[in-house]
Amino acid sequence: MSYSEEEIVKILNDRFDSITASVKRPRRLWLDSPREGFLDVLTYIHDDLDFILLCTMTGIDDGDGYRLIYHLSHDCGFILSAAVHAPHENPVFDTASDIYKGGVLFELEARNLLGLTILGIPEDIRYPLPDGWPEGSYPLRKDWVAPQAGKDKAEGVAPEGDASGSSTAPASDTTIISNAPTASVAAAATAANYVAGIDAAVKNTTVTTTKTKENDNA
């Protein structure tokens, strides 16, 4: 591919009326798409523009809804981040794993950590949550509160509606799990610590990498 960043953006915007593509900085492109037609956009990006590698995927509760961002790379060094949005009241997406085969792992993480519905991925896998993690507790939601080990009651479950659509949550922002099994609460707390450990490790790796580069340039 011999296209520049600006040419790729123009090609995408001309071909798909419903999307907005832009250049964020050199070699970094951004695309916003509605759910309808998003897989068609990804298919074109993969097959015609040769962004054949899914580097990773980001799942976000942005306050107004949920956003999935597929970070795609080309062998020329360009990274294209393709974002699709769903409202809080209908957090349903289609899987992109038929286009990007390894994407199912990222989509499982997004589903189980944010409480999304992603059509086309296995329904019985709770990766990366540990055994005993409380049902309905989604740690990447903005309204989630980390459970505490050793307590009879744990906060951390987002309010859920009953079959009629009315809320069964108490007056507080989160539902209380009454008489939650200690093992489940402990597992939830362990997972929360695990996530915090990953964050610390990433920050430490970033610092180490920076220092290494500085030493190499010295």
Q: Domain holding 42: CATH number?
A: 3.30.460.80
- Predicted TM-score (pTM) of the model is 0.69
Residues 199 and 106 placed together within one structural domain of the fold:
no
Domain boundary among 128, 160, 182: 128
Which residues, other chains included, contact 62 with Cβ-Cβ below 8 Å and sequence gap of 6+? 85
pLDDT tens-digit readout, 19-65: 999 999 999 999 999 999 999 999 999 999 999 999 999 999 998 99
pLDDT tens-digit readout, 140-193: 999 998 877 655 444 455 444 444 343 333 333 333 333 333 334 444 454 455
Residues 7 and 87 placed together within one structural domain of the fold:
yes
Residues 163 and 75 placed together within one structural domain of the fold:
no
Residues 72 and 166 placed together within one structural domain of the fold:
no
Residues 121 and 209 placed together within one structural domain of the fold:
no
What is d(CA 82, CA 19) in angstroms, rounded to the nearest whole number? 10
Domain boundary among 69, 97, 128: 128
Domain boundary among 99, 128, 157: 128
Which residues, other chains included, contact 217 with Cβ-Cβ below 8 Å and sequence gap of 6+? none
Residues 167 and 105 placed together within one structural domain of the fold:
no
Q: Which domain holds residue 109?
A: 1-128
Residues 86 and 171 placed together within one structural domain of the fold:
no
